[in-house]
Chains A and B, each alone.
Chain A
Amino acid sequence: MQTLSLTQADNPLNRPEPVLLTQGVLRVVRFQAMASPCEVLFAGLDDEQVGVLGRLAARETWRIERALSRYLPDNPIARIHAGRGQRIAIDPELFRLLSYADQCYQMSGGRFDVTSGVLRHAWRFDGSDRLPEQALINSLLTRVGWLRVQYGEDWILLPDGMELDLGGIGKEYAVDRVLLLLLHQLQQWGKTLAEGQFGVLVNFGGDLVCSGPPPDGQAWHVGIEDARRGEVAIQTLSHRHGGLATSGDARRYLVRDGKRYGHILDPRTGWPVEQAPRSVTVAAATCTLAGMMATFAMLHGAEAEVFLQAQKNIQYWIQR
Chain B
Amino acid sequence: MKIRQMLKNGCILVVLVGLTACSEWGVKPWERDVLAKPEMQLIVSPIDAGLDDHIYFSKEGSSGGRSFGGGGCGCN
Which residues of A come within 8 Å of B, CB atoms? 99-100, 103
**Which chain A residue has the least Cβ–Cβ distance from B30?**
A103
Q: State whether the Cβ of B29 lies closer than 8 Å to any Cβ in chain A.
A: yes
Which residues of B come within 8 Å of A, CB atoms? 28-30
Across the interface, which residues of A come within 8 angstroms of B29, CB to CB? 99
Whole-angstrom distance between the alpha carbons of A28 and B66 in the complex? 56
5 example contacts (A-B, Cβ-Cβ < 8 A) are as follows A99-B29, A99-B30, A100-B30, A103-B28, A103-B30
**Which chain B residue has the least Cβ–Cβ distance from A103?**
B30
**Which chain B residue has the least Cβ–Cβ distance from A100?**
B30
**Distance in Å: Cβ of B33 to nearest Cβ of chain A:** 12
Whole-angstrom distance between the alpha carbons of A90 and B28 in the complex? 22
Whole-angstrom distance between the alpha carbons of A100 and B29 in the complex? 10
Across the interface, which residues of B come within 8 angstroms of A99, CB to CB? 29-30
Across the interface, which residues of A come within 8 angstroms of B28, CB to CB? 103
Q: List 5 A-B pairs, minimum CB-CB distance, nearest first.
A: A103-B30, A99-B29, A99-B30, A103-B28, A100-B30
**Distance in Å: Cβ of B76 to nearest Cβ of chain A:** 46
**Distance in Å: Cβ of A278 to nearest Cβ of chain B:** 31
Whole-angstrom distance between the alpha carbons of A157 and B29 in the complex? 21
**Distance in Å: Cβ of A103 to nearest Cβ of chain B:** 5
Whole-angstrom distance between the alpha carbons of A106 and B30 in the complex? 12
**Distance in Å: Cβ of B34 to nearest Cβ of chain A:** 16
**Which chain A residue has the least Cβ–Cβ distance from B29?**
A99
Across the interface, which residues of A come within 8 angstroms of B30, CB to CB? 99-100, 103
Whole-angstrom distance between the alpha carbons of A73 and B37 in the complex? 41
Whole-angstrom distance between the alpha carbons of A103 and B29 in the complex? 9
Whole-angstrom distance between the alpha carbons of A99 and B30 in the complex? 9
Across the interface, which residues of B come within 8 angstroms of A100, CB to CB? 30
Whole-angstrom distance between the alpha carbons of A11 and B59 in the complex? 66
**Distance in Å: Cβ of B30 to nearest Cβ of chain A:** 5
**Distance in Å: Cβ of B73 to nearest Cβ of chain A:** 43
Whole-angstrom distance between the alpha carbons of A103 and B28 in the complex? 9
Whole-angstrom distance between the alpha carbons of A99 and B31 in the complex? 13
Whole-angstrom distance between the alpha carbons of A103 and B30 in the complex? 8
Across the interface, which residues of B come within 8 angstroms of A103, CB to CB? 28, 30
Whole-angstrom distance between the alpha carbons of A99 and B32 in the complex? 14
Whole-angstrom distance between the alpha carbons of A173 and B29 in the complex? 20
**Which chain A residue has the least Cβ–Cβ distance from B31?**
A103
Whole-angstrom distance between the alpha carbons of A103 and B32 in the complex? 13
Whole-angstrom distance between the alpha carbons of A100 and B30 in the complex? 8
Whole-angstrom distance between the alpha carbons of A100 and B28 in the complex? 12
**Distance in Å: Cβ of B12 to nearest Cβ of chain A:** 36
Whole-angstrom distance between the alpha carbons of A133 and B30 in the complex? 40
**Distance in Å: Cβ of B52 to nearest Cβ of chain A:** 35
Whole-angstrom distance between the alpha carbons of A185 and B55 in the complex? 45
**Distance in Å: Cβ of A97 to nearest Cβ of chain B:** 13
**Distance in Å: Cβ of A62 to nearest Cβ of chain B:** 28
